[in-house]
Chain A
């Protein structure tokens, strides 16, 4: 390795396309067994909860999904900021690719929360601090997706979406704090780890397995979406045309 490692090597769409294409099969290969192991441990191995019985098992999907929903928003805002600062096309495309997956996990966290809330609290929905802030997060994702989709000009869509993602990220700590004060007025139910009986190791392992599975899934899906975006936007470039001819000749040969 005589050549110095360069930070922007994979900022070139063509190189990113090639790298992501090589990584995606491995990421899927990691996600599937991790999810299978995590679900098996969570649903069959982990002990029944002393207080909540079997219904608590939904946390093996719920908690990792909630984590992912927040991490993905921060990642999206990060790439939006990078794209803004360096005018990097690839960063904008990554931000776009992250948004639908983030919205999916937010929705999943809300939905599984409702499914858990029905047996545990006797209601599908409470205007509790956590639930409300997660709902706002979903609105932020949907707003970003809708704004980018409404703008036909790619450059304007990139930059407008990035601005919104960054502004929304500023709001996240505000939501967090407002939520604490709101809760002192509305003494509602809260979901905290400390309130539950001490967590068994198998439970923790299952949850971590699911988290890693979700991470691998996110990377795989986001890379696939980003690759599609790259091809769409670079369709005028030579390397995309080469790629298309090569795949066509391969089809004709087979």
Chain B
């Protein structure tokens, strides 16, 4: 089981390394979208500081949805996804490995880029720390839930927009508690409760989402 997980995970990372520009797209999207807000909302530092956590989260959410729609697409197109499922090895493990690879490729760079965002938006150091932890706990949830949507919409017309409509309602709890943690720090409270709930959400989705993804893949490949 671990071998299978590692094999699929490392394969996806290796494939991504061969298409570096494509792999950097989510981060580029994240930074570019976020940098539009000061132009749209106005450059007052007070306003921007207040907007920053929610903005970082929403941009992370959109970047994740943008990239996750490609999670199974190329494997589906060249038939390797079907081969993987035909091997009789656990489809749940394959789904989990692909979600983990997606997070490594899109979630981690976002977290690395978040301090830059904090600098641009003049975020407090404590609040920035809370934002980083909340993103660290929350972005895997986005990848796991996004994989369910990507598997459901595999090979459909207008799959990208459909994916947004399917997955965004499910990610709202993560968004609420992720931004709530930063708001709590700003208000001088402890963000511990929010982190605990984010952690619980992460455990819950880690246990259920790969199962749902595997089921959705079977439906899509029938």
Contacts and interface: CB of A to CB of B under 8 A. Distances in A.
A170 B153 contact: no
A164 B176 contact: no
Given A151-B156, A178-B177, A185-B184, A160 B216 contact: yes
Contact of B169 (A155, A160, A171): A171
Interface in B153-171: 153, 156-159, 162, 165-166, 168-170
B172 A147 contact: no
Given A146-B165, A164-B152, A175 B173 contact: yes
A233 to B, nearest CB: 17
Interface in B72-129: none
Given A136-B172, A160-B152, A178-B177, A170 B208 contact: yes
Contacts of B168: 139
A167 B169 contact: no
A160 B162 contact: no
Contact of B152 (A140, A142, A147): A147
Given A146-B162, A163-B152, A185-B183, A171 B222 contact: no
A139 B165 contact: yes
A47 interface: no
Nearest to B184: A185
B169 A163 contact: no
A146 B220 CA distance: 16
Contacts of A163: 152, 212, 215-216, 219
B121 to A, nearest CB: 20
Interface of A: prevailing SS: helix
A150 B153 contact: yes
Contacts of A181: 176-177, 180, 193, 197
A182 B172 CA distance: 12
Interface in A156-205: 156, 159-160, 163-164, 167-168, 170-171, 174-175, 178, 181-182, 185
Given A150-B162, A167-B148, A167-B212, A160 B219 contact: yes
A236 to B, nearest CB: 20
A155 B222 contact: yes
A147 B212 contact: no
Contacts of A150: 153, 156-159, 162
A140 B177 contact: no
Contacts of B219: 156, 159-160, 163
A164 B166 contact: yes
Given A170-B208, A171-B170, A142 B220 contact: no
Contacts of B159: 150
A142 B164 CA distance: 11
Interface string B192-222: 0100010001000000100010011001101
Interface string A97-109: 0000000000000
B152 A139 contact: no
A226 to B, nearest CB: 22
A160 B159 CA distance: 13
Contacts of A156: 219-220, 222
Contacts of B169: 136, 139-140, 143, 168, 171
Nearest to B194: A181
Most buried by A among B166, B197, B216, B222: B166
Contacts of A174: 173, 201
A178 B172 contact: yes
B163 to A, nearest CB: 10
Contacts of B148: 167
Contacts of A178: 172-173, 176-177, 197
B184 A143 contact: no
Given A139-B165, A156-B220, A182 B180 contact: yes
A28 B201 CA distance: 44
B204 to A, nearest CB: 8
A6 to B, nearest CB: 29
Given A143-B162, A143-B165, A147-B152, 4 more contacts: A143-B166, A146-B165, A163-B216, A164-B166
Considering the complex of A and B, which 7 residue pairs feature the smallest CB-CB distances, nearest first?
A139-B169, A143-B166, A143-B165, A178-B173, A159-B219, A136-B169, A174-B173
Interface of A: 136, 139-140, 142-143, 146-147, 150-151, 155-156, 159-160, 163-164, 167-168, 170-171, 174-175, 178, 181-182, 185
